[in-house]
Amino acid sequence: MTDNIGSSVRRRIAYSPIHKRPALRLPGDARVAVWTIVNVENWSPDGAMPRAVLPPPMGQPLLPDIPNWAWHEYGMRVGFWRFIEALESRQLKATFAVNGSVCELYPDACEAARDAGWDFMGHGFVQRPMHRVDDQRAAIAQTIEAISRFAGKPPRGWESPGLTETDETLDLLAEAGIEYVADWVLDEQPVTLKTRAGDIVSVPYTVEINDVVISAVQQQPSDEIYRRGRDQFDRLYVDGAKTPRVMAISIHPYLTGVPHRIKYLEMLYDYILRQPGVVMWTGAEILDWYRSQIATRPPG
């Protein structure tokens, strides 16, 4: 019944002000853990596109939607490889949020991510919101199986397409063996969420330093990811002197991988890397660190 929609949300996590929690500690007393999420997706040309850069002429939708499909496809053919170069040249590893079907459709990109040691994270089987998936359990299993077959091990993390969940999604993910999620953008530290299959960890994701928001939704200037990312980092760095913070940088090849934006992502990395007291991690590394921290807390 619709009366119960959303009833699980507050039961999964109690309210906890960040300044009242037991202090966490990063290695070397670092202040900020930064992780990059590279989102790689399958936009099926036989349906509506997840988002559009061009409205339909005269307001008449048409399938296939060639211009908007090609906008995304450009990212896989060109933009993604700028990400590889930007990250590898700085000896950085990303978390690879990937639709399961991408492993077959874009094997070169997946091979490059695997060879670079990126952390594969489930991102649905195709780019479709979870509330529009007919059988979530099957789609989750299909995604995990595709990634496991390609990467040689199952993904530990999950980012739902569009960060969407139903009341059951988190339970199904935990039952499938997923250990951390990136859908809950409610904190600057990892937190524990309850499911019917036990606890799962929320690793802080972002709708702030996220190129979908910056470039596609807000349509900000090309350098906004640098300006906003720098300001975000600076404040987290100040606050991290008291208790560590996590900063996420979420990017998509068809948005930040274009020529007029890529240099601003590179500038953001170079700015962060010049600061002491920073660790550049993957989502799985943040998960393992958080678990080690809470394991040493006294009970109660």
pLDDT at 3: 55
Query: The pTM is what?
Result: 0.96
pLDDT at 285: 99
- DSSP label of 58: G
Overall average pLDDT of the 244-270 stretch: 99
- DSSP label of 34: E
Question: Dihedrals φ, ψ of 158, to 5°?
Answer: -150, 135
pLDDT band at 298 (very low <50, low <70, confident <90, very high): low
pLDDT band at 295 (very low <50, low <70, confident <90, very high): confident
Q: How far is CA 35 from CA 99, 128, 132, 206, 279, in A?
A: 19, 24, 29, 10, 9
Overall average pLDDT of the 280-284 stretch: 99
- Asked whether residue 2 carries a pLDDT value surpassing 50, the answer given is no
Whether the CB-CB separation of 99 and 40 falls below 8 Å is answered with yes
Strand duo 198-202 + 119-122: pairing: unpaired
Q: Would the CA dihedral through 186, 18, 15, 170 be positive or negative?
A: positive
Span 190-236, pLDDT tens digits: 999 999 999 999 999 999 999 999 999 999 999 999 999 999 999 99
Whether the CB-CB separation of 247 and 36 falls below 8 Å is answered with no
Average pLDDT, the chain: 96
Q: How far is CA 251 from CA 33, 228, 257, in A?
A: 17, 14, 8
Question: Dihedrals φ, ψ of 249, to 5°?
Answer: -125, 110
Strand duo 278-281 + 95-98: pairing: unpaired
Overall average pLDDT of the 158-180 stretch: 97
Beta strands in the chain (DSSP E): 32-40, 95-98, 119-122, 157-158, 180-181, 191-195, 198-202, 245-251, 278-281
Span 39-89, pLDDT tens digits: 999 999 999 999 999 998 878 888 999 999 999 999 999 999 999 999 999
Instruction: Tell me what percent of the residues of the chain surpass a pLDDT of 90.
Output: 92
| Residue partners of 161: CB distance under 8 A and separation at least 6 | 41, 50, 99, 123, 124, 127, 128, 129, 130
Per-residue b/e over 221-247, b at no fewer than 16 CB within 10 Å?
ebebbbebbeebbeebbebbeebbbbb
pLDDT at 300: 47
- Asked whether residue 286 carries a pLDDT value surpassing 60, the answer given is yes
Residue with tokens 């994701």: 205
Whether the CB-CB separation of 72 and 41 falls below 8 Å is answered with yes
- What domains can you pick out in the chain, each with its CATH number? 22-48+61-295 (3.20.20.370)
Whether the CB-CB separation of 155 and 177 falls below 8 Å is answered with no
Span 76-100, pLDDT tens digits: 999 999 999 999 999 999 999 999 9
- Asked whether residue 4 carries a pLDDT value surpassing 80, the answer given is no
Structure tokens at 300: 């109660």
